[in-house]
Chains A and B, each alone.
Chain A
């Protein structure tokens, strides 16, 4: 588990991008439910954390591909492949993401 930020620093509608040895991850606060997905759009190099959050969907800022934050699946073209999702936990007001899922692709 890696520390993302304090929960108060991730208000509803916001996103943060975390980098490290793992692929960049975007963590979203969608109406008080937190989701983490791989940050890079599967269509072309663009950061989903900079995208438009609506409900539990995020729209890529470059070509408007949309992903379901719950499953990582694209909901429309031009993206075809899913982004990986990661478990998020909040403990003592701090947001953590489990990046284990990413290890095999690192």
Chain B
């Protein structure tokens, strides 16, 4: 291969570029990113960035960038795949490449008159809005919503979190552990309202709930999930269905095109996780260079979240049979295992609050 184009210049795209060079690819490397920024780390945006403790955290320093020897086309969107070897760009130009890595990530779902938090620019807007706010409304009590709520509390704001599910994070952590995470809001002076949909948000920030109640917020942020950024691929040569359809090695229906990160629907599973994006980049680029699937990636399902001074770590999958192995939920410091399997005793998932040590130890034994 002489030219490889990477569409998407965030974590998955950067790690793909690095992996290609590590594996000896010495051809032309073009990285196209719709944000004007060089790759930065997104997780701090909801935490230390909102608190003003850090500015953008680069994922690569100048030395790394020099070593990559890539052509960065930033602030430019890919608008379509004209063929499996030609990409159309928003500035009217095209890029020809023998190999393509699709790493366009996800697009946050939105509600009118709310902020979202995905990009650095989003975070700057939210941070500026928070500075003048008294009461932050957060729609969605998932990890990102909870982290923003936590940061706003630390900034001294009144915070109300509205969650459509009866218990936050049920789909990820199960009801019992979702409830445990939800309790952190109350512990730290945020109000959590569950089991209710949001009808609309007024331009002044008042949230209208489906049952007629109102939340008198003045700034509102929605953390209600993302959809894969595949609009630009519709009608093109690559199959799209809840993300870019690829095998467990990240290879699409075209062998010279792979997908990584939030946009990749690998063997029927789309992960939106930092760690999986990194791991997928290693595997998919190897397959790209090999011209076929020689390696596959199993998503471990590892996620972490820092909120209200508590570190939550989760790996694997949640089941209804969850057992606290150490510490206690009441102390907000514990490790619990999820059980399943033929004898219902196999550990298939682990969750910890503020006990990284035991979590790390147990995850080693996870099948």
Chain A residues within CB distance 8 Å of chain B: 44-47, 49-52, 59, 61-64, 77-78, 80
The contact sample of 6 A-B pairs, CB cut-off 8 A, is A49-B357, A50-B360, A51-B356, A77-B15, A77-B278, A80-B64
With A77-B18, A80-B61 as contacts: A61 and B275 at CB distance below 8 Å? no
Chain B residues within CB distance 8 Å of chain A: 15, 18, 41, 43-44, 59, 61, 64, 274-275, 278, 304, 306, 311, 313, 356-357, 359-361, 364
Of all chain A residues, which has the CB nearest B41? A44
Q: Are A61 and B18 interface neighbours, CB within 8 A?
A: no
Q: Are A52 and B278 interface neighbours, CB within 8 A?
A: no
Contacts of A80 in B (CB 8 A): 61, 64
**Prevailing SS type, chain B contact patch:** helix
Of all chain B residues, which has the CB nearest A49? B357
Contacts of A49 in B (CB 8 A): 357
Cβ-defined partner of A52 (8 Å) among B61, B274, B364: B364
Contacts of A44 in B (CB 8 A): 41, 43-44
What's the least CB distance linking B351 to chain A, in Å?
14
With A77-B18, A80-B61 as contacts: A61 and B278 at CB distance below 8 Å? no
Contacts of A52 in B (CB 8 A): 360-361, 364
For the A-B complex, the count of residue pairs with Cβ-Cβ distances under 8 Å equals 35
Cβ-defined partner of A61 (8 Å) among B61, B64, B274, B356: B356
With A64-B275, A78-B278 as contacts: A47 and B364 at CB distance below 8 Å? no
Contacts of A77 in B (CB 8 A): 15, 18, 278
Q: Are A63 and B275 interface neighbours, CB within 8 A?
A: yes
Q: Are A61 and B359 interface neighbours, CB within 8 A?
A: yes
Docked complex Cα distance between A61 and B306 (Å): 13
Docked complex Cα distance between A51 and B357 (Å): 6
Contacts of A61 in B (CB 8 A): 313, 356-357, 359-360
Nearest first, the 4 A-B pairs at minimum CB distance are: A61-B356, A50-B357, A50-B356, A61-B360
Contacts of A78 in B (CB 8 A): 59, 278
Contacts of B306 in A (CB 8 A): 45
